[in-house]
Chains A and B, each alone.
Chain A
Amino acid sequence: MSASNTDFVLAVEGLTVSFDGFKAVNDLSFYVDKDEIRVIVGPNGAGKTTVLDLICGRTKSTEGSIKFRNKELTKMKEHQIVRAGVGRKFQTPSIYGDLTVFENLEISFPRGRSVFGALAFKRDAEVLNRVNEIADMIFLSELLESRADLLSHGQKQWLEIGMLLIQDPELLMLDEPVAGMSVSERRQTAELLRRITKDRSVIVIEHDMQFVAEIADKVTVLHQGKILAEGSAEEVKADPKVIEVYLGH
């Protein structure tokens, strides 16, 4: 099945993945606009993470199409999808603990990505400026020389977000970015998200409905691999089906 061309940044159509017969994502279709902030909510096991896995190529779909700027992603390798402009943050902070914050950001800087490019890579002014700029944005300027595994949980989450920002992706996907954060870290993260979501499309998976209402242009509620409801945060919150399976408890 192949989707037609659209103006959307991301067009997902008829997406299905089955793990040994169990359909974690089942005939899913949704569209994300340019500069839109889309939040995906849903109970645990609804298939939210799996949807991101499918888009970024970590899991291969069984059926359906994923088009990013009208380019079919389902046949592409992970690194090609990244290079096309899709960045993805994992649910648990995925950073390089043995390297410094500086090195974590530097590795993510989109240059010298081939073997010989990496050997010849020079830490020049452009890299330094960009790393400093991003470090500032993610509240880690003071910690550039510390080993990343010494950071707090919240700081690690920020670092990973920074590692994506330095690549300036056109579509940014964040899997529960504020989970496990303290109240003040949450506030800072909300502010960070508002800043970084300018000029790019973002898909965020989030549970905190108050937080969702604050940032979302549009909310998609997922349940058992299917869309249960879609609309503004207000509409979704008022939807009886959503209240029953998700917000009720």
Chain B
Amino acid sequence: MSYEGLRSLLPKSDLLGFAVLALLLVVVLPLSLDIFRLNLIGKYLTYAFVALGLVLCWGYGGILSLGQGVFFGLGGYAMAMFLKLEASSPENTAIQSTPGIPDFMDWNQLTELPWFWEPFHSLGFTILAIVLVPSIFAYIIGVAMFKRRVGGVYFAIITQAVAAILTILIIGQQGYTGGVNGITDLRTLKGWDIRTDEAKYVFYFLCVFMLFVCLLIAQFVRKSKLGRLLVAMREMEDRVRFSGYDVSNFKIFVFCLGSAFAAIGGAMFTLQVGFMSPTFVGIVPSIEMVIFCAVGGRLSILGAVYGTLVVNWAKTTFSESFPELWLFAMGALFIAVVMAFPNGLAGLYNKYAAPHIEKLLGKVTGKSNNAKATVGTQGVAHERQ
């Protein structure tokens, strides 16, 4: 990509935001936290993938999904299935009545690996499945809903129903899924022990790297005409339709993209936390993800990361002392954000901090920095020169 292309993808104010977040996640936190705490941050960051997808779907596109846990879970389960198969080698499971299959299958009197588990012996297939299975599932839901012009509250309710159904299915089909306990006791990845501190560091940085990949994809979408179309659709869907666009295709696309992000987050969760269970699939976690996004500011892709970190940090701190009060606190927080700060942390930042920082930046570079609105036009002018 050309320098100009990069400049228009990451104009100065956005570049600063990306750089600060990178500094925080890559340098500050790893240097200041022990591995236990850092691993916890890594776990929070996996939710940020979901919140990021929600910024695009909900914040930009106006599509509120209350079932993103489904995609987080599918990605997480795909990863867990691979790791579980590796942990269930015939040597490791010699004491079972059927050696070579996961322990929970043996407990449930299964004598053979189910067919859909077979391909998860392959890491390549697993990586593809992590992204593709949830995306295809999202595509099917998207086509079924958006082509019929189901949207708004109805769509939100249907995604909730899907989350509930999938949870029930996973819990009910114990022999195939590990049931309510989920898939646990994961040990190695291609023979490399994933439970060591070293592995936790590696996975933390992998998670941060993947998060930045997703952030850059989201930034690209935001900055493209598709990003502006999403805003336009949210506001005046009919006008977009009567400008010659097939609106449903754009909704399907952004829903699939958000789901793919969520799935990558889920896989990162499994790697860092070492298990996957239905508690991350259902209605409650799905709604929590929406709260992370709202707190961060639903129009801010970086806000999604900060929102997730702040709420989860509060949750951990708060629920250590008053576990029974946390859900109420969370509800209150959501209402407060919606009523008082509809643009979340990002809104507060833009209102109070950004003007000072822009001024500072202006001084440093010796230029006025109010060129935001004309960036696009300038970009083209440069291209033509």
Q: Footprint of B on A, CB under 8 Å?
A: 56, 58, 77-79, 82-83, 87-88, 90, 94-100, 102-104, 106-108, 110, 112-115, 118-121, 123-125, 128, 145, 160, 163, 167
- Let me know if B225 and A125 touch, CB within 8 A: no
Q: Does B14 contact A (CB under 8 A)?
A: no
**Contact present for B228 and A107 (CB under 8 Å):** yes
Bound complex: CA of A146 vs CA of B138, how far in Å? 37
Taken together as a complex, chains A and B put the C-alpha atoms of A82 and B241 apart, in Å, by: 9
Those of B319-339 within 8 Å (CB) of chain A: none
Q: Which residues of B contact A (CB under 8 A)?
A: 220-221, 224-226, 228-229, 231-232, 235-236, 238-247, 249-250, 253, 373-374, 376-377, 379-380, 383-384
Chain B residues whose C-beta falls within 8 Å of the C-beta of A108 in the assembled complex: 243
Would you give 24 A-B contacts (Cβ < 8 Å), ordered by A?
A56-B242, A58-B242, A77-B246, A79-B242, A90-B238, A95-B236, A96-B236, A97-B235, A98-B235, A99-B228, A99-B231, A99-B232, A103-B228, A104-B232, A110-B244, A114-B246, A114-B249, A115-B249, A121-B224, A123-B376, A124-B380, A124-B383, A125-B384, A145-B374
**Bound CA–CA A163/B244 (angstroms):** 11
Nearest-CB distance from B2 to chain A (Å)? Answer: 12
Shortest CB–CB separation between residue A129 and chain B, in angstroms? Answer: 11
Q: Which residue of A lies closest to B254 (CB)?
A: A115
* Bound-state Cα–Cα, A120 to B220, Å: 10
Contacts of B374 in A (CB 8 A): 145
Q: Determine the residue in chain B with the shortest Cβ distance to A118.
A: B226
With A and B bound together, what is the CA distance between A110 and B229 in angstroms? 13
Cβ of B244 and Cβ of A94 under 8 Å apart? Answer: no
Q: Give chain B's interface secondary structure class.
A: helix
Contacts of B239 in A (CB 8 A): 90, 94-96, 160, 163
**Interfacial chain B residues near A114, Cβ < 8 Å:** 246, 249
Q: Is the CB of B249 within 8 A of A107?
A: no
Chain A residues lying within 8 Å of B249, measured Cβ to Cβ, are 114-115
* B244 lies within 8 A of A82 (CB): yes
B384 and A118 within 8 A (CB): no
- Tell me the nearest residue of chain A to B256, going by C-beta: A115
- Chain B residue at minimum C-beta to C-beta distance from A56: B242
- Check A58 against B238 for contact (C-beta < 8 Å): yes
Which residues in B have their C-beta under 8 angstroms from that of A113?
Answer: 244-246
Contacts of A90 in B (CB 8 A): 238-239
Please give, as numbers and ranges, the residues of chain B lying within 8 Å of A160 by CB-CB distance.
239
Closest chain A residue to B225, Cβ basis: A121
Contact A128 B242 (CB under 8 A): no
Residue of B nearest to A145 (CB): B373
Closest A residue, CB atoms, query B237: A94
List the A residue with the shortest CB-CB distance to B250.
Answer: A115
Q: Which residues of B contact A120 (CB under 8 A)?
A: 224
CB pair B243–A106 under 8 Å, yes or no, is no
